[in-house]
Structure 1
Amino acid sequence: MRRSLILRVTVAALVAGAVLITVLLGVVTVTIRESVFSDKRDAVLADAMERVRTAQAVLDAATVTSPDEVAFLAQTQVTSIRGSSAGAGGVGVALRRSGSESSSVAINDLSTDSAMDALVTHDITQAVEDAPAGTLAWRPTQVPASIGTQGGSGQEPGVLVGTRLSLPVAGQYDVYVLYTLAPEQRLVTVASRAVITAGVGFALMTVLGVWTVTARVLRPVRQTSLAAQRLASGTLSERIEVRGEDELAGLATSFNTMAASLQAQIERYAALSTVQRLFVSDVSHELRTPLTTIRMASDQLYAARTEIEDPLARRSAELLNDQVDRFQTMLTDLLEISRIDSGRVELRVSQEDLREVVRRVLSAVEVHVTASGAQVHLDLGDQPATAQMDVTRVERIVRNLVTNAIEHAEGSVIDVTVATSSNAVALRVRDHGVGMSPDVVAKVFDRFYRAEPSRRRTLGGTGLGLSIALEDAHLHGGTLTAWGWPADGSSFLLVLPRVLGEDGTPGTLTGAPPLEVVPPDAPAVARTSAGHTSAGQWPGPVSRRTGQPGKSARRLNSTLPDPAVRRRGPLQPLDGGAGQDGARPQEGRPGQGEGQ
């Protein structure tokens, strides 16, 4: 019901209508019952008064002297009252000696039915005693089935009317006339059923009307919602038909205006993006030819540098060779970004062990590890970390993560951990250098992002390395997430599915990841203050277009540290010495994350 406004409005109308109709039915039923009962009571009292007057006139005119004659006369009047009151609903008559009568002559109590004895209670008797002379006392009662008009074993409502009769010789006697209200009860029942039926019908008509009206009113809103969904999915030409001039028509007009503006802006940005991609692609390709020539000339000069006598010229040849290498790396990264943006990337899939990829990368960068003074500690696990992958791309991811850690480790320990699960393999590279703030973590995968542009870099870098690594992870259906804390280092986690889709399409990650991005030796304050990514969930999605990690991927882990979890692998660490050219990264920098 929370998802349907029509249903909520209809249910609300139904509840309100049900309450209103229930109250109305109660009021109408009570009013009908009281009105019918009041009319019947007045008619019964009038009839009883008439019967008693007639009987009293007969008794007053009679000349009797003996008790037997009085009894016969009384029996005759009781029978007469019973017969004459039948038209008004009379069903029984009883005659009882008045409690205040002291005459020596008395006759037996009389009644037209033995069931009348139980109906003449002390209450009605006392009411007759207290009533002024010539007036009637009455009480509502239940008429037994034996003397009622409906028969059966049940009871029916009635009125018992009492007053006094003066018998010759015998004195004062109380006469009670019983009237049934069964016809009136049937009338009230029929009227109540009719009112209830009408109320239920009215409620159903109200529900149907509310449903119909609400559906018609909300139809443009639903159409607007569907149009917004199609617009969000990329159908920029989506528009809504404008009908009338009311508020809903104004909504449709506003939506169409917004859609037209969005379409114009998006098409403009798309055109600019296309021009930008084409420019980068064309420039990158055009630069390859002159760069090749420069590369050849640089190699010749570098190879003959020992024969150059001028130290300045010799040093220039070395610098030229280094800068050409860096230029070529940048050009390669730009070409790769261009291919990724154009969607012209295909994976060359093979079955590989992630541990062997890590070993090859560490062997290739061993000289840089030694130069930086860092130490690499490996934990490759005991189980093979085999998975379907494009080795070149995965090796590039690992190289980017390791060189990024070397650049920012500040000569400290670098932990490289490989773990596996039933459907995924994972690599975590953790350094203990300057670390990253949460703001830097949120932008670390952006293209050309550098947390500190003025920082000296011993391994170069274009600011595209982590962005390309992220795209390579996505091409495999994997994730690449980052964590960092100022002055306590940073951690990058790569998770890849073991099996890719058909024809090298991305695989699927399910279940818990083999590792968490937050290392077990992270400080408690970092975990408590910054939140964490649950070990039972995959890190959040990352935008492929912007390279920014999703919100959950950027959150920091807050599980309490467990030093016992940190293990040292069987492989020997790559111990290093002094930095290259005696240079060491500067101390006290606030973060890292520029990418290689």
Structure 2
Amino acid sequence: MRDFDWREGVQRLAALWRSSLQLRTVAITVLLSSVAVAVIAGYMSLSVGANLFDASRDQLTRTSANATLAGQQVFDAADEGIGLEDLDIMLRDAAGVIESVASSTGGTSYAILRSPGQEGARVPSDVQSQGLASDVLISQELRDVVADSTEQRTYWQSVALTQPTDGSVNPGLVVGSTLDIRGAQYELYLVYDISDTQDTLVVVQQTLGLGGFALLALIGAVTYLVVRLVVAPVKLAAETSQRLAAGELQVRIPVQGDDVIATLARSFNGMATSMQQQITRLAALSQVQQRFVSDVSHELRTPLTTIRLAGDVLYDQRESFSPATARTAELLHTQVERFELLLADLLEMSRYDSGAVDMETEPTNLVRLVEDALESLSSLAASKGSELRLVAPGGYCEADVDPRRIRRVLQNLVSNAIDHGEGLPIVVWVDSDQDAVAIAVRDYGVGMSSAALERVFDRFWRADPSRQRTTGGTGLGLAIALEDAVLHGGWLEVWSDGDSGSCFRLTIPRAPGIELRSSPLELPPSDEVPRLGEGE
């Protein structure tokens, strides 16, 4: 459960990152600023630390040189005839002088050691501060350098000083030089605790850290304010464009000032005004066209009815006419029928355009409905040499639909399949699941090109206008079929292959209000069985 919450949190954060320009800008700015501040603060810390150490080292080496000089003066002022026993006392006096000079700069301890490899008695003996572990703090490398020195100069080395009270470790510095005591060379080592320099560096580093965090917070706040000033108008423009796309053509962006954002707002408002005028003009023109088509269709029905009655009388008596007159009567009868179909389709399209379409749904067995539609078109299929086949695997085949409209869709699809099927079998599949019912009509004829697939549902469009059509289509059948499918909340989809024919699939919900997510049938369905009849 905890892992699921973590993943959900990451997903929400990722979605927020993708959707928020303001968050991305502030985060990237703070991140890059953090890198810059870290680099600068690190360089400053190293530079300040090096300068503090160099200053402390220079001061301590000068103090050590002064202490060495003071100690050497003690021995130089002694009488030539002083005894060896008194040298120990004199060495301790010199050590006191040296310690007093070094203590002014934080000297903690000292050691005066005879350089190895010298002849004669070891007098005076080595002395060092109590508790100083000279063999640990003073490295052999430093002793070698100091012992080999032929000049009066100092040498230093960084060391770690362990505090006997609490065991903590402080930074230290050992400065070495040489003393000449009655011709014998002694090494003077002064040990300094430079923790105060370290404390100063820590204070500087803490100041840099706090200053860096404060600077980053300030950069983040300034970036947020600046981005908000820029993003807010852009966000307002996006919201306004969404409202325009939703049909609120009167909305506009408030214009303030004369900057680039104001120029963008004025341009956007000008574009919105132009679009509103164009859409209003086109809507008015569309209403005029719809009214014209509706009015003309209604007005033509009365004279068409009269022509139909007269044509029927002539058609019924055609056998008594001469061959030419009889043929004319037959042509008149056929074209009047086509004219009636065209008027009916135009009236139906005008109802869809005006939103005056009503559905009369009822529980309908779609398998029975398909069987009735196929039976009504069986004579047309026989005349074209095509066999009509129905494949209904079973399942939930009853749905709340408008049977008149579904029958019209089926007749359009099957008629087109017969007309383009090249005499091969026409197969109709019916299948369903708990949410949807699907009907697929498949032919194995000439098929359609990719360009034709994009326009197959356009009004008054025909794949081959020069083709002799037995069914005499008007170019509105598939457009009306698509409107009927959408009216039911369903889909009407097409698949075609130039070598394998075409397939139309109608998918409708089993009850109004159900949202379709998938179709019970593939597009196209498996055609292994129908292919067996191609050679018949």
- TM-score, normalization by structure 1: 0.83
Name the structure 1 match of 2:3: none
Name the structure 2 match of 1:121: 139
User: Which moves more between the two structures, 469-478 or 103-112?
Assistant: 103-112
Name the structure 2 match of 1:76: 93
Q: Deviations over 1:335-364 (max 9, x none)?
A: 111111111112111111111111001111
Q: Return the match for 1:185 from 192, 198, 203.
A: 198
Q: Return the match for 1:379 from 348, 366, 391.
A: 391
Amino acid in the other structure paired with 1:264: Q
Name the structure 2 match of 1:298: 311
Q: Deviations over 1:252-302 (max 9, x none)?
A: 222122112111111111111010001011111112222222233333333
* Contact in 2 for aligned 1:355/1:384 (Cα 8 Å): no
Deviation at 1:19, TM superposition (A): 1.6
Q: Return the match for 1:18 from 27, 34, 50.
A: 34
Name the structure 2 match of 1:157: 171
* Contact in 1 for aligned 2:176/2:188 (Cα 8 Å): yes
Unaligned runs of 5+ in 2: 1-16
Q: Deviations over 1:73-108 (max 9, x none)?
A: 223332442344222110010111112422224343
Q: Return the match for 1:238 from 247, 251, 257.
A: 251
Residue 508 (str. 1) matches residue 515 (str. 2): yes
Amino acid in the other structure paired with 2:494: A
Name the structure 1 match of 2:114: 97
Name the structure 2 match of 1:108: 125
User: Which moves more between the two structures, 6-15 or 355-364?
Assistant: 6-15
1:566-577 matched pairs, under 5 angstroms:
none
What do you get for the CA RMSD once the two structures are aligned?
2.1
Residue 52 (str. 1) matches residue 68 (str. 2): yes
1:418-437 matched pairs, under 5 angstroms:
418-437=430-449
Deviation at 1:6, TM superposition (A): 2.1
Deviation at 1:486, TM superposition (A): 2.3
CA distance in 1, matches of 2:166, 2:50: 26
* Contact in 1 for aligned 2:67/2:99 (Cα 8 Å): no
Match of 1:85, SS? helix
Q: Deviations over 1:561-582 (max 9, x none)?
A: xx3x6588xxxx9x99xxxxxx
Deviation at 1:320, TM superposition (A): 2.4
Match of 2:19, SS? coil
Residue 206 (str. 1) matches residue 219 (str. 2): yes
CA distance in 2, matches of 1:520, 1:364: 26
User: Which moves more between the two structures, 412-421 or 445-454?
Assistant: 412-421
CA distance in 1, matches of 2:109, 2:287: 106
CA distance in 2, matches of 1:154, 1:450: 95
* Contact in 1 for aligned 2:70/2:97 (Cα 8 Å): no
Deviation at 1:452, TM superposition (A): 1.6
Deviation at 1:128, TM superposition (A): 0.7
Match of 2:394, SS? coil
Q: Return the match for 2:298 from 276, 281, 285.
A: 285
* Contact in 2 for aligned 1:165/1:172 (Cα 8 Å): yes
Deviation at 1:197, TM superposition (A): 0.9
Residue 366 (str. 1) matches residue 378 (str. 2): yes
CA distance in 1, matches of 2:272, 2:358: 35
Residue 229 (str. 1) matches residue 242 (str. 2): yes
Match of 2:430, SS? strand
Deviation at 1:26, TM superposition (A): 1.4
Identity of aligned residues (%): 38
Higher relative contact order structure (alpha carbons within 8 Å, sequence separation ≥ 6): 1
Q: Deviations over 1:374-395 (max 9, x none)?
A: 1112212233511111000000
How many positions carry a matched residue from both structures?
A: 517
Match of 2:393, SS? coil
Over 3 Å counting, the alpha-carbon distance change for 1:473 and 1:384 in structure 2 is: same
Amino acid in the other structure paired with 1:132: T
* Contact in 2 for aligned 1:92/1:116 (Cα 8 Å): no
Unaligned runs of 5+ in 1: 502-506, 522-562, 577-596
User: Which moves more between the two structures, 52-61 or 171-180?
Assistant: 52-61
Residue 130 (str. 1) matches residue 148 (str. 2): yes
User: Which moves more between the two structures, 47-56 or 467-476?
Assistant: 47-56
Deviation at 1:114, TM superposition (A): 3.2
Amino acid in the other structure paired with 2:373: V
Amino acid in the other structure paired with 2:67: R
CA distance in 1, matches of 2:56, 2:98: 18
Amino acid in the other structure paired with 2:436: A
Name the structure 2 match of 1:318: 330
CA distance in 2, matches of 1:204, 1:131: 56
1:407-556 matched pairs, under 5 angstroms:
407-501=419-513, 507-510=514-517, 512-521=518-527
Name the structure 2 match of 1:259: 272
CA distance in 1, matches of 2:501, 2:415: 14
Match of 1:42, SS? helix
CA distance in 1, matches of 2:258, 2:396: 70
CA distance in 1, matches of 2:85, 2:488: 121
CA distance in 1, matches of 2:145, 2:530: 99
Q: Deviations over 1:186-240 (max 9, x none)?
A: 1111111112111111111011111111110222222222221111111222222
Name the structure 2 match of 1:8: 24
CA distance in 1, matches of 2:122, 2:377: 138
User: Which moves more between the two structures, 277-286 or 376-385?
Assistant: 376-385
Deviation at 1:519, TM superposition (A): 4.5
- TM-score, normalization by structure 2: 0.91
* Contact in 1 for aligned 2:429/2:441 (Cα 8 Å): yes
